[in-house]
């Protein structure tokens, strides 16, 4: 392994661990735990590649410190989950970037996840339907085995067939990937909520529709949602042992 490659891995580890500390200090423990784990793995890869004994000792000390903190956070999160008191809040500021569905939901997806419930009254217009499609694609790519996605939304009264047609097509497409899409409609739904059967509950003030319209079809952020500007919103995360069914 070349020195440049080792230096690159070290820089990546520093960046990820810096983010872990920032999240830790702001009380976003589940997110910080994921970053600590990724950063520690990167540092361990650096340790394997370094031959200098003094540097190896330095990396071992750093790794131990981060592992100890990660274990403390894990115990703290598990205790709050056990007590039913886990609550974390993320504030997405106006025009912020870096909040794709992959980034936002990653800390709460585990191999135990098999069923998802989405309550969102606004999966009706074209861009909202695409948002839900992207959310489903994110689940298919994630390290889990989702078998069923439940969607409860409102029906577009002025719909000329777009909403029903799009959701029927998505249902068929998900079925081809071994995932069942259960569709239900409500004329009184207002709240927005996403539940995972591993116990996580994510409530986004704007639902899945928190991205701004891109400036043009060839503008940065049109395809990559990590680069798409967001509207200001709040994300509340809870954990419960009992996942409700719709």
First-last CA distance in the chain = 53
User: What percentage of residues in the chain have a pLDDT greater than 90?
Assistant: 76
Could you tell me the residue ranges of all domains in the chain? 3-83, 87-239
At 194 the three-state DSSP class reads strand
Is residue 1 scored above 80 in pLDDT?
A: no
* Average pLDDT of span 228-244: 87
Is residue 243 scored above 70 in pLDDT?
A: no
pTM listed for this prediction: 0.79
Is residue 2 scored above 80 in pLDDT?
A: no
Distance, in Å, from the CA atom of 124 to the CA atom of 132, rounded to the nearest integer, reads: 10
Q: Do domains 3-83 and 87-239 have the same CATH topology?
A: no
pLDDT tens profile 78-97: 888 888 888 999 999 999 99
Q: Which CATH architecture has domain 87-239?
A: 2-Layer Sandwich (3.30)
CATH 1.20.58.80 corresponds to the domain 3-83: yes
Distance, in Å, from the CA atom of 130 to the CA atom of 167, rounded to the nearest integer, reads: 10
Distance, in Å, from the CA atom of 222 to the CA atom of 224, rounded to the nearest integer, reads: 6
Query: Could you say which DSSP state residue 113 is in?
Result: -
* Average pLDDT of span 180-193: 94
pLDDT tens profile 159-176: 768 899 999 999 999 999
Using an 8 Å Cβ cutoff, are 117 and 204 in contact?
no
In Å, the largest CA–CA distance within the chain is 71
């Amino acid at each position: 392994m070349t020195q440049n490659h080792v230096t690159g891995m070290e820089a990546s580890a520093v960046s990820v661990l810096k983010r872990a500390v920032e999240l830790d200090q702001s009380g976003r423990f589940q997110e910080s735990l994921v970053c600590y784990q990724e950063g520690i793995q990167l540092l361990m890869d650096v340790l394997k590649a370094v031959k200098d004994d003094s540097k190896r000792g330095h990396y071992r000390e750093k790794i131990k410190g981060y592992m100890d903190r990660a274990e403390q956070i894990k115990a703290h999160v598990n205790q709050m989950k056990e007590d039913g008191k886990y609550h974390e809040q993320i504030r997405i500021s106006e025009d912020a970037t870096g909040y794709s569905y992959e980034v936002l939901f990653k800390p709460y997806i585990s191999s135990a996840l098999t069923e998802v419930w989405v309550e969102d009254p606004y999966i009706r217009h074209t861009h909202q339907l695409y948002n839900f499609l992207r959310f489903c694609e994110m689940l298919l790519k994630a390290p889990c085995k989702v078998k069923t996605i439940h969607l409860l939304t409102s029906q577009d009264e002025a719909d000329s067939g777009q909403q029903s047609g799009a959701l029927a097509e998505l249902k068929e497409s998900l079925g081809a990937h071994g995932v069942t899409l259960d569709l239900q409609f409500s004329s009184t739904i207002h709240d927005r909520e996403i539940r995972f059967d591993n116990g996580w509950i994510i409530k986004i003030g704007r639902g899945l529709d928190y991205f701004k319209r891109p400036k043009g079809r060839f503008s940065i952020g049109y395809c990559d949602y990590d680069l798409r500007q967001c509207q200001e919103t709040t994300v509340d995360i809870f954990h419960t042992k009992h996942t409700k069914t719709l």
